[in-house]
Structure 1
């Protein structure tokens, strides 16, 4: 079942990976996180990786918070997020995230660690965890690969959603495409970058050669804070109340 929710296709030198759970706003379960990491990590015979989300609602609504209330699933989601980070950072292939609509939580993490981000003009990009009295420490570490620590904190602490123009102004996205023709626009830009993949790969290596922080190591250090936060009184109950209203 999980392999059906993370679809992949290799064509013309491009590995297309689609998060295909539109009925749940492409929210990622722990199993889906590991499947996504595996799909990124096995793209050795392609030149470029493009990650997309199915449906019209958005790219990815983040981690499936319903799993937070199920036994050890919070730990499994932590491991899944770390697997995604490791795959994105270690990929020898340039990675493009094609994001549209609601791009939240783990969706922001994926975009923050991708080399290029193509966004639809209906983008709503942000971190709503604060509304559940949770702080997205893991996503903040990923955001800081693209923006300053102060800006990352503001986005995490306020839960404010950015539109496409605001996200591009901060350096979080590289291209904006009309939502009505987004699929065609993504295909066109992906072909453009594939045809220049040698130069793009040089740029990727240059970006990572300047002594940037080891984001995976930082996330491993920060992960206990996520568990501390979830264990605070009222957090589990707030999530449960929200799920009942959906």
Structure 2
């Protein structure tokens, strides 16, 4: 699953995905489709439990859409492949943790890609923006997601102005989980990924499906679906060996051994 545009590395149950398109890691159609294939394989591989997404180099995570490709004739409304732009934002059934390790500039579609992850770690020099407003277009995914991730008025300001903001501000508004020295970013991302990979995958899957599907539901309707096992992941969890193992391990005062089944 490795090409010159996207590098992948498996470390046990963790998949590392690195955008590698000098000089800015911008995403064209071919790269978006490749990312879609990579994240689809990650979703469907029972041996993989966590993914880390980052960018090559020290300056750019991802600036989003490749404007040079657009200038040479690529249609921005073309086929981005599975999962939509960047392969992650619209991928159905992706019920595994994804960590974005933002190693530099994340703007436009690159910021939208980062906020499609479950956890965002940022290097201390990372900067962010949604500059689409300045070119007369809409940051569509961010317009849907950002007001639900951070305070509404802050999200609207960032969307309306397209201004840049740094990692400290992103952390202040809760957009990123942690800020780290650049040299320690991937070390912390790997540490967190390993911790998650050792956890109960069926529970993680249930958490992610419930959070995603219940986002626009009334509380009681969502709770009723959970208690009646009407989410596929919850039904699978309640019938699993892992749930029995969790109860046994608690009674026996030992660490559980999760098998994902």
With the shorter chain as reference, the TM-score category is: 0.7 to 0.9
Secondary structure, counterpart of 1:141 in structure 2: helix
* Partner Cα distance (1:130, 1:157) in 2: 7
- Name whichever structure is richer in helix by fraction: 1
**RMSD after superposition:** 2.4
* Partner Cα distance (1:116, 1:197) in 2: 17
Deviation at 1:181, TM superposition (A): 2.3
> Hey, what does 1:52 align to over in structure 2?
54
> Hey, what does 1:187 align to over in structure 2?
190
Structure number with greater Rg is 2
Deviation at 1:115, TM superposition (A): 0.8
> Hey, what does 1:64 align to over in structure 2?
66
Contact 1:95 1:114 in 2 (8 A): yes
Deviation at 1:125, TM superposition (A): 1.2
* Partner Cα distance (2:56, 2:200) in 1: 25
Secondary structure, counterpart of 2:141 in structure 1: helix
1:111 aligns with 2:114: yes
Change (3 A) 1:158 1:77: farther
Change (3 A) 1:153 1:93: same
Contact 2:61 2:104 in 1 (8 A): yes
Q: Deviations over 1:106-156 (max 9, x none)?
A: 111111111111111111011122333333223322324423554333212
- Runs (5+) with no aligned partner, structure 1: 214-246
Q: Deviations over 1:66-125 (max 9, x none)?
A: 2223335222266642853222x5312111111122011111111111111111111101
- Larger RCO (CA under 8 A, 6+ residues apart): 1
* Partner Cα distance (1:186, 1:82) in 2: 20
> Hey, what does 1:143 align to over in structure 2?
146
* Partner Cα distance (1:188, 1:123) in 2: 20
Change (3 A) 1:125 1:143: same
* Partner Cα distance (1:156, 1:104) in 2: 12
- Superposition pairs for residues 12-23 of structure 1, below 5 Å? 12-21=12-21, 23=22
Q: Which moved more, 1:72-81 or 1:113-122?
A: 72-81
Contact 1:33 1:81 in 2 (8 A): yes
- Runs (5+) with no aligned partner, structure 2: 218-261
Q: What is the total number of aligned residue pairs between the two structures? A: 210
- Superposition pairs for residues 90-239 of structure 1, below 5 Å? 90-198=93-201, 200-212=204-216
Secondary structure, counterpart of 1:42 in structure 2: helix
Contact 1:135 1:157 in 2 (8 A): no
Q: Which moved more, 1:150-159 or 1:78-87?
A: 78-87
* Partner Cα distance (1:196, 1:175) in 2: 21
* Partner Cα distance (2:32, 2:74) in 1: 15
Q: TM-score, normalised by structure 1?
A: 0.75
Change (3 A) 1:82 1:209: same
Change (3 A) 1:181 1:82: closer
Q: TM-score, normalised by structure 2?
A: 0.71
Q: Deviations over 1:12-45 (max 9, x none)?
A: 1001111011x22111111111111211111123
* Partner Cα distance (1:7, 1:212) in 2: 35
